[in-house]
Amino acid sequence: MLGSRQSPYSSMGQYGPRRNYSTYGRPSARLPHLRLDTTLVLLVVCFFMGMYLPGWMGMAPTESLGRGNDGSMSRENFAVSTPDLLERVQILKARMTDAEKKAAAVLEENQKLRLDNEIEQANLKTLTKAKNEEIRGLQARIDSTEEKLDATKKQNVDGNEKEELHKTRSEIKDMEDQIKSLKKQLELASQKSPSDSTHQHEKAAAGSIPSSKKEPKKSEVVDVVKKPLLTRKTVSVPEPQPLNPLWEARLHALFDLAQSDPASLLSKLDDSNADPLGVNVGGPTNFTCPPPSERLTQPDLRRIEVATQFRGGHGFVFFQHLRKAGGTGFCDMASRNMPGHVPSYYCMPDHRGTLATPPWTTSWLLDTIEEKSFRIAANEWDPFLRAWFAIGDAVFATTIRDPTDRWYSQYRFEHVEHRDGTTQNSVPKPFDVWYGQEHSRNMGHNYYVKTFLGEATETEPLQRKGPNGVPLVHGNFYWAYNKYQARVLTWEDFRMAMDTLLRFHVVLVMEWLDEANATMKSTLGWTEAPRQILPHEVQAARQEKKSKSARALLDKKVFDSTREANVLDHLFFEAARRIFLERHACESA
């Protein structure tokens, strides 16, 4: 022991050394204010949590439990904070509900897309089967037709049969083109599988691809089905309208002169100083657009909205093909602007071009256009019928040339080059002899005016048969013109023909084809320029393939008499030139 001082731990208690505060000479006294009671500790912790925990949770200082803007605590502040928390809970619940709805919508859309995918796959299988059957049928027809051609080659055939053989070969080419088109459709459809677009849409809905790609791409076959070529809309056949009063009086006076003195009218039309129709200006580039009151084309009788629809991919061109007046060149231009949508045989949907003869009715025409996706149909052998104006999907077009040059071109093409059944070694007849025979049994004089009269053709002649039971019109492409043989054309006939022509959306002049590009672009949306092309260029035997002027090649007396016989056609031709000039200058600029 060291003196009187003892160790602070003088004894051991039950739980360890016992503290003895009496070591320092006085009894130990407990200090209540230094004792950290458990209850007090909990209160302090709660206090600090109330002050700082809301801030850690993202609440504004004024939203702290019971704390006001000045930092003080009050019962009122406690009362306000409770609804705020409840409101936040409601907002979170609402957000969760929206998320669940969006998830449900995405799920429903994906299920719908899967169903659409199954339907498209089924449609594709059906389409593939149908197209393959059609291809096999066409191939069988080709094989059968080629066998017939091989058998026919061993026989001697005349001119008409040669023409039929040429048409048969064109039919084979048309069927081969259809097979290529069908195979291309199937290839595109198989490459663009609908299932791919469905998976893409599912990824887009999940946010894995940009929103601009969320819409699935449909196959081209489906697009064709959803966007029909024709609306099948029928409109009322228009009643003839009065011409512009200025032109009504002018054309009527010229018509009367043509009836009384054809030579005088033709002389006036040729005179650049007289120039009663204002067309001898040296070409379209020199023509100035006149005021509306002086235009032959006003009021405008065309259905402009149809041309607008055509440029948008709907409808078709109804082409009135005037023989030897640039129709082959127009069809060539159509082929270059609408590849794959033009009949192979001179734009004729039936390989013969006749539309007025049953069963080639309007309904048959529209069915054929839809079935084969044609966008042009040419009518060469029949006069134009006003009833065709009721076709709501048709844009009407024609080409025209000098009437006497047209007749000489037909003589050269059919007779001189032996396409009329004459033998290759035979000497061609002189033009006047040929014309005297040809006009009397076929189209007659003033072919243009008769073509655009627009009168319905009676089908009763089709029933008339000869002694051997063969229809009298068999092999006669021009039978629809027969009723005009003995007809004397009147001013009302001429006026009706003018009304019909003014309703055509496109009237081209063969001599001005180089100037027609702007007109074709503004009306039909075609960008490939027209060009002059000769029919049957491969088969033609002529050494010089350029168009010939009848004035330069015919004897003057023969030339003058032919012009006078067709004087109304010459007046009609000059009016057509005026129509082209006005539209070119006033609409295509």
The total of structural domains in the chain comes to 2
- H/E element holding 357? none
Lowest mean pLDDT among 115-119, 390-394, 578-582: 115-119
Tokens of 179: 């097979």
DSSP 342-355: S-TTTT-TTSS---
Contact 480, 381 (CB under 8 A): yes
Tokens of 464: 């008339």
* Residue 158 within a domain: yes
Q: Residues 559, 562, 568, CA angle at the centre, nearest 5°?
A: 130
Answer yes or no: do 295 and 151 share one domain.
no
Q: Over 70: is that where the pLDDT of 445 sits?
A: yes
Answer yes or no: do 253 and 169 share one domain.
no
Answer yes or no: do 175 and 304 share one domain.
no
Helices (H), 216-261: 220-226, 245-260
* Residue 433 within a domain: yes
Answer whether the bond into residue 359 is a cis peptide, omega within 30°.
Answer: yes
Answer yes or no: do 221 and 254 share one domain.
no
* Residue 413 within a domain: yes
Name the phi and psi angles at 13, rounded to 5. -90, -175
Query: Which amino acid would we find at residue 375?
Result: R
* Residue 159 within a domain: yes
**Location of structure tokens 């084309």:** 297
- H/E element holding 419? none
Can you tell me the distance from the alpha carbon of 269 to that of 442, in angstroms, rounded to the nearest whole number?
27
Q: Over 90: is that where the pLDDT of 307 sits?
A: yes
- Residue 475 has a CB neighbour count (10 Å cut-off) of 10
List the CATH number of the domain containing 486.
3.40.50
| Domain final residue, candidates 226, 253, 287 | 226
Residue count of the chain: 589
Answer yes or no: do 249 and 222 share one domain.
no
Answer yes or no: do 186 and 321 share one domain.
no
Answer yes or no: do 143 and 255 share one domain.
no
Query: Which amino acid would we find at residue 574?
Result: E
Q: Residues 127, 133, 136, CA angle at the centre, nearest 5°?
A: 140
Answer yes or no: do 363 and 391 share one domain.
yes
Task: Give the pLDDT confidence score for residue 480 in this predicted structure.
Answer: 74
Provide the domain limits for residue 176. 103-226
Residue 378, SS3 per DSSP: strand
| Domain final residue, candidates 166, 193, 226 | 226
Answer yes or no: do 194 and 250 share one domain.
no
Answer yes or no: do 215 and 252 share one domain.
no
Can you tell me the distance from the alpha carbon of 388 to that of 316, in angstroms, rounded to the nearest whole number?
13
pLDDT digits (tens, 9 = 90+) for 446-467: 999 999 999 876 666 666 777 7
Question: In the beta sheet, which residues pair with residue 320?
Answer: 379, 398
Task: Give the pLDDT confidence score for residue 268 in this predicted structure.
Answer: 96
Tokens of 509: 């002049």
| Domain final residue, candidates 226, 253, 274 | 226
* Sequence-ordered strand ranges (E) for 483-546: 506-509
- Residue 212 has a CB neighbour count (10 Å cut-off) of 7
* Residue 535 within a domain: yes
Answer yes or no: do 219 and 309 share one domain.
no
* Residue 88 within a domain: no
Lowest mean pLDDT among 6-10, 326-330, 470-474: 6-10
Nearest to 285 by CA among 588, 575, 528: 588
Lowest mean pLDDT among 210-219, 374-383, 518-527: 210-219
* Residue 12 within a domain: no
* Residue 496 within a domain: yes
Q: Over 60: is that where the pLDDT of 181 sits?
A: yes
Answer yes or no: do 211 and 277 share one domain.
no
Sheet with 394-400, strands from edge to edge, namely 376-379, 316-320, 394-400, 506-509
